[in-house]
Amino acid sequence: MKINGVQIDDTFAEAFPMKATRIIITAMNLKWAYRAANALRGFATSVIACGVEADIERELKPDETPDGRPGISVMIFAMSAKDLEKQVPIRVGQTVMTTVTTACYSGLESDTQVAMGKSLRYFGDGYQISKLVNGKRFWRIPVMHGEFICEETTGVTKAVGGGNFLVLAKTARQGLLACEKAVNEIQKVDGVITAFPGGVVGSGSKVGSKYPFLSASTNEAYCPTLKGVVKSELTDEIGSVLEIVIDGLDEESINEAMRVGIRAACSYGPGKGIYRISAGNYGGNLGPHLFYLRELLK
């Protein structure tokens, strides 16, 4: 199978179950909503070492937010609701509450909830007050710029982490141009994020390592500098491999994100250094969600 002359490998991306929440950050203007959102998603690329995976989902217009101000939707993924319960209040408290003029709300309805304002209210040192609106509890925490309003909890849902594809290119520069276009298209899909910096992974990993203390290590079969040293998946013309990893609220959202992302990357074609599209296939060792490239591209 080829798209615009780019070979689509007969393989699948292997993903795993996660838990996710969506929070809405608002502020006086988008500039400060973005500052809070970017701080919150810092050091949240991979659950391997970061605890959570987080990124901006999209901008929100004032008529889409609870308080009628500009906002940002951020999604946070973790391996369990317990992990989210630990990470969400810390990140919101240290990044959103500290950003001038912000407020924070749940962006996801669910029977399962994790704390936000429920934990952060104590920062008010006894001066905090709560208000119940349409069955939802909000906390008003006095702070020096005015007050920080935060919904008591945010919903948690089942999710899928680790949808992915690999872009095999002649050079890193050519691969990055194709990946940037792919990420731009993926960002138009609701319910997904690409948590790595800029949405592109430069150091894709495999499951396991020769060192027992590591759960993941470099994917040597796709490292161009190791051709001739290991059993390589790369032909002579390929000098760089970049990966795009996608977390989503369900399989269909990841399917759509992979579909539009791969087609965008393939639009560059071999003439611009893009030769193949592959995926992280770990032989069933990573997770039960399998995204077959050729099937989703039909």
Q: What is the pLDDT of residue 283?
A: 76
pLDDT for 58 equals 97
How many beta carbons lie within 10 A of that of residue 215, not counting itself?
A: 12
Q: How many CB atoms lie within 10 A of CB 245?
A: 23
18-157: in CATH 3.90.1170.50: no
Q: Count how many residues are written for the chain.
A: 298
Answer for the pair 194, 186: CB distance below 8 angstroms, yes or no: yes
pLDDT one-digit tens code per residue, 158-185: 999 999 999 999 999 999 999 999 999 9
Contact at 8 Å (CB) between 201 and 243? yes
pLDDT, tens digit only, all 298 positions of the chain: 999 999 999 999 999 999 999 999 999 999 999 999 999 999 999 999 999 999 999 999 999 999 999 999 999 999 999 999 999 999 999 999 999 999 999 999 999 999 999 999 999 999 999 999 999 999 999 999 999 999 999 999 999 999 999 999 999 999 999 999 999 999 999 999 999 999 999 999 998 899 999 989 999 999 999 999 999 999 999 999 999 999 999 999 999 999 999 999 999 999 999 999 999 887 777 889 999 999 999 9
H-state helical runs in 238-277: 251-266
CATH fold, domain 2-14+160-296, is Alpha-Beta Plaits (3.30.70)
Which of 15-52 are b and which e, b meaning 16 or more Cβ less than 10 Å from the residue's Cβ? bbebbbbbbbbbbeebebbbbbbeebbeebbbbeeebb
The structure's pTM equals 0.95
Whether residue 230 contacts residue 221, with contact meaning beta carbons closer than 8 Å, is answered with yes
- Note the pLDDT tens digit of each residue in 95-108: 999 999 999 999 99
Residues of the chain with CATH 3.30.70.520: 2-14+160-296, 18-157
How many Å apart are CA 281 and CA 290, to the nearest integer?
A: 9
Q: How far is CA 14 from the centre of its chain?
A: 16
CA 139/CA 124 separation, integer angstroms = 10
How many other β-carbons are positioned within 10 Å of the β-carbon of residue 214?
11
Q: How far apart are CA 298 and CA 16, in angstroms?
A: 23
The whole-angstrom distance between residue 8's C-alpha and the CA centroid of its chain comes to: 24
On whether the CB atoms of residues 207 and 286 are closer than 8 A, the answer is yes
Give the integer Cα–Cα distance in Å for 235 and 100: 52
